[in-house]
Each structure stands twice: as C-alpha cells, then as structure tokens.
Amino acid sequence: MIIMQAIDTHCHISHTLKRGLKLNILLQHAQANNVIAIIDSPVSIDDYLQSIRYHRSNPKKIYVTLGASPAGYHEMNIDELIGNIRSYAGKKEIVGIGEVGLDYYWVKDYTIRKKQHETFKRFIDLANELQLPLIIHSRDAEEEAVKELTIAETPVIMHSFGGDIDTALECIDRGHYISIPTCVTNRRKHRRLAKEIPLDFLITETDSPYLSPFPDKKRNEPANVIYAVKEIAKIKEISENEVSKVIVNNAKKIFNLKL
C-alpha cells in the first residue's frame, strides 16, 4: 500500500505556537498526517535563533529558511540580517533564503518601494553567493518581482503566489516553482493556478498559522498541508498518490532534503 505523504515547504512555527499550539503536538499532528518535513521560515531576526533551535532538536523533521518581510525592509538592519544568514548557511543549518521579495499591498510609498527593490536584489545576490534556493513574497507585486529574478541563479519558489495565470506561466517558463497554500480549498485564484500549472512545477505549503483550509478554523498548522495535496488531486483529476509523489520529490530536489 502506498502512503500519501506531504512536505510543508513554508510555515511560521513561532507564530503558530503563539496561537496556542505546543511544538510536540504540532509535530505529532504532522506525523499523523504523513507530513514528512516542515520548513520553518522566520521573517524576524529575533526569531532566527529559535527556528534554528527547532531544527537542531528535530534535524530530520524541521528545516529552516531565513528571510525578512519585504513590507518592513526599511525598518530593519539588512546588513545584520545578511550577516546572520551567512553565518547559519556556513554551518549548513539552513536550506534556503526567504521569504524575501516585494510587497505593494502594504507599501504604497514610492520611495519605500524603490528601497524594497534595492534590498531584494541584495537577497538575490546572497542566494547566488550561497547557492541556496529563494522563496519569494510578491504580494501585489508579482510582475515586478519576476523581473528582478532574472539575475537569480538558484531555484526560485513563488511562495503562496497570488498573481495571474500569465505571470505564473512566465515563472515556470523561467524554471521557477509555484507554491500552492492550503487555502486552495476555498480560494478561486489558487484553484485556477493549481489547475493550470504543470505538476512538475508545483509544491505545497501552509503558511501557518495563516491561510487555513477550513473556513471555521482560523489557526493553520503544518499537518494541514495534506489537504492542499488532496485538493490539487481533485482539481487536476488525478490520483492523490501521483500528486503526492511528484510534489514531494519537487520539494526534496529544490531544498536538497535528504529524507
């Protein structure tokens, strides 16, 4: 019997725990749903070390990418962030850079947007230097982010991508991956993407504690990533096991996960 598996390629464990879930319970739930790996993505330097500690205590279950929320770049010490990322990368304790990118939803000021682009380029250069994949936040700035990514030399994931189909297809033409969040169960834009994007360019995430697959449950968690796999299978009208196999292999390849 084939067991359907999943990987949560993007979540925020510290934020999820702050909403009332214990780490051991989070991991138990994930194991019960055959979620074989969880990638934690802190966006604050204050959370970096805690995330690394989660990985150190669960090295075959929790992995880490380090990034920063683009809407807050102008309030951060980017040199310090990059120094921290370099340090953890040097110890082989992270598997990617991100989330990083652009955010036009929260940021309307032209000067701050321009600064976002400058900082985003620094993160792309960092990923190229460290030879690590990039996880991209591009809220209401999808086309602009894709333009900046022409200099990227490592795998690119469009995290919780919310752009149009044409931009998504441009992404895959460039070899980028589209990450489908658990809210694909109830959001039309993600359902359209799941239908149109070839399976070879899809991965799954929860973005927990956000983007719950259940309308009546606001807190999301890594165990729920399995529902994204199930929904993609329904949308594409193929077996859950086929979706699981391809998407898990995509994630393993992108992040070089030895599972």
pLDDT > 80? residue 2: no
pLDDT > 90? residue 41: yes
Q: Mean pLDDT in the chain?
A: 96
Report how far residue 81's alpha carbon sits from residue 43's, in angstroms, rounded to the nearest whole number: 10
Q: For 192-246, how does the pLDDT look when each residue is reduced to its tens digit (9 = 90+)?
A: 999 999 999 999 999 999 999 998 888 999 999 999 999 999 999 999 999 999 9
pLDDT of residue 120: 98
Report how far residue 6's alpha carbon sits from residue 186's, in angstroms, rounded to the nearest whole number: 19
Beta bridge partners of 98: 135
Report how far residue 27's alpha carbon sits from residue 63's, in angstroms, rounded to the nearest whole number: 13
Domain residue ranges in the chain: 6-255
Beta bridge partners of 38: 8, 62
Confidence of residue 1 (pLDDT cuts 50, 70, 90): low
- pTM surpassing 0.95? yes
Q: For 16-38, how does the pLDDT look when each residue is reduced to its tens digit (9 = 90+)?
A: 999 999 999 999 999 999 999 99
Q: For domain 6-255, give the CATH superfamily.
A: Metal-dependent hydrolases (3.20.20.140)
